[in-house]
Amino acid sequence: MLAGRQKRAGQLGQARSNRVRTAADVARRQRFATGNVARLRSDSHPLTNAAENDALHAYESRSKAAFDKIEPVLKEIAQYQHDNNFVVKAQELGRLLLSLELPSHLLENTWIAPLDMGKLYAWCVFETFQLFADEFYSEKPLAQKSDAGFQGFIESCGFHTLDFSPCADGRLAHTISYVLRLPYKGVRRKSYAGAMFDVEDSLQKWVEVEHKRLSESIPNSASEPTRYLKAAVYHYSSSLPDQEGCAAHGSDAVKAAEGAMSRLLAFQQGVQNSFCCGASIDLMLIGIDTDNDVIRIHCPDTNGNPDGENYIDAQEVYDATRHANPGDSERVISELIAQKNPAISSEFNKGLVKFMARLLFNNISQIDYVRNYFNGCYSDIGHQERFIGMGIGFEEVQLRNLTYFAYLKTVEQNAIDVDVGIMIFTGLNIKRGLPAPVVIRYDYHGNVPGARARAVAKVECLQQAMMARFPQQTQQGLIQTMLVVRDCSADNSIEVVGGSTQPGEVGGRH
Ligand SMILES: [Zn+2]
């Protein structure tokens, strides 16, 4: 059943190669991949958590398989659409192969009008996403035993809050749980195209966090000398740097790093200018090679801010600690960081170095994850997202290339994030006549009166704005939507409140 998706990936790759790849690019990629495969045959790194890797891979594989079998199964179902007992046959196949009860309103009357396969496809993606989210909140497949001590660890590094903004690209959606191996509940994650995060949004979060520290001593008392850490995560592709880097920065890694850095500095300046009396935050700039998940962390300069040109690469750390004793790992990695930049050894940066060492240590497991399960380089080095997630929320999406995020409150204010998403899905789906499935989402706090009703109004409003921004695709049924809300105070799963694939809804061919 996966053959269709792989074939599709191959076709997409072929289409791209006709357009942008040169023979030199392909040769370079082959050399790159061959080198990794050769290294792969050796044993795993002594610092790698093999059991965690196995569990993460099992979760990733089965979650993605559920999405990837939709297209081949629907192709099979399509063959029977003119049969007398089509609805019965389609339901049988849906139950057997997708574990889904297909919607009768999309299966009936196929003797009059052709089956709306695009809408049925989107419905299956949405239903699969709902099952995926339900499992995430009920079974907690990514929870780790070590999560409980995480807040104590970050406070020992001098921080009380971690606020990360990766690029919205789906190839970074697993940044927290996989690439950096941090507990998703312990890190605020808000994704933006090009990691160009909303400074005002972060400022608002900072005020909220500091207020809670003052009034409730949560997560710790305001008298503790800890700081708010804001990190931006950009990305690049080492094998195809000019084609598979960050779409929002024209595939230019330097521009991606500079763009993210400019937002970090603006946020820091914003905090200092708005709240004097020594108020400040710490900054971190991280790059991810989306081919193999190797990170680079920019070293702090003498002011403690990330140095755009000086960074430590996790592959160097991986190689240098190849025979390290796990008990010495933190010291060895800290020494490597200090060698890289003497400015870093000052007392001022001690906590930051400790945190950097932890991230580099954790990334060693992820480097082996890609080496062991993907031959050292993902086969889908480009976009292969299964749907767009738009709005506020999506804590449950911690997997690579599953979702393109557009974190926004209004389509108009974050139009670039939405446009990049539709551009990506034009290449993945729309060009082939398949719709872009868009999950429109708004999380709310159920303890605030009227919050759910406002969240529902918000997703309806976002849906209208999407239809207005992309009228042609909407008219042709090439953008399909599902509207969901979630009470994030109750730790419940998502609640579906509407969408274009529901009976009698707009957003498709009629
Ligand atoms: Zn990007």
Tens-place pLDDT, residues 117-158: 999 999 999 999 999 999 999 999 998 767 789 999 999 999
Residues with Cβ–ion distance below 5 A, ligand 1: 167, 169, 246, 248
- Cβ-in-10-Å burial (0-12, 13-18, 19+) of 21 comes to middle
* 296 closest CA partner among 340, 347, 265, 252: 340
Give me the pLDDT at residue 32, please.
39
* Rounded distance from Cα 245 to ligand 1 centre (Å): 7
* Rounded distance from Cα 135 to ligand 1 centre (Å): 28
- Cβ-in-10-Å burial (0-12, 13-18, 19+) of 137 comes to middle
Give me the pLDDT at residue 327, please.
82
CA angle 406, 127, 76 (to 5 degrees): 115
For residue 248, is pLDDT > 70?
A: yes
3-state secondary structure of 232: strand
* Ordered domains of the chain (ranges, CATH): 3-117 (1.20.120.1310), 158-374 (3.40.1050), 382-499 (3.30.1330.140)
140-149 pLDDT, tens digit per residue, is 999 876 778 9
DSSP string, 125-162: HHHHHHHHHHHHHHH-TT--GGGGGHHHHHHHTTEEEE
- Tell me the pTM: 0.86
Whether 169 is catalytic is yes
Does residue 219 have a cis peptide bond before it, meaning omega lies within 30 degrees of 0? Answer: yes
Residue range 401-429: mean pLDDT, rounded: 89
For residue 31, name the pLDDT band (cuts at 50, 70, 90).
very low
If one counts every other C-beta atom within 10 angstroms of the C-beta of residue 431, the result is 12
Give me the pLDDT at residue 10, please.
36
> 465 with 410: CB under 8 angstroms?
yes
* 359 closest CA partner among 302, 412, 288: 288
The set of long-range contacts for 89-96, using a CB threshold of 8 Å and a minimum separation of 24, is none
Half-sphere exposure of 401 (CA within 13 A, CB side): 18
* Rounded distance from Cα 311 to ligand 1 centre (Å): 19
**CA 364, chain centre distance (Å):** 20
* Rounded distance from Cα 310 to ligand 1 centre (Å): 21
Q: Name the residue with tokens 């999380």.
A: 443
463-487 pLDDT, tens digit per residue, is 999 999 999 999 999 999 999 999 9
Q: Report the distance separating Cα 360 and Cα 324, nearest Å.
A: 14
Structure tokens at 17: 């190669």
* Rounded distance from Cα 191 to ligand 1 centre (Å): 10
| Catalytic residue selected from 169, 282, 368, 417 | 169
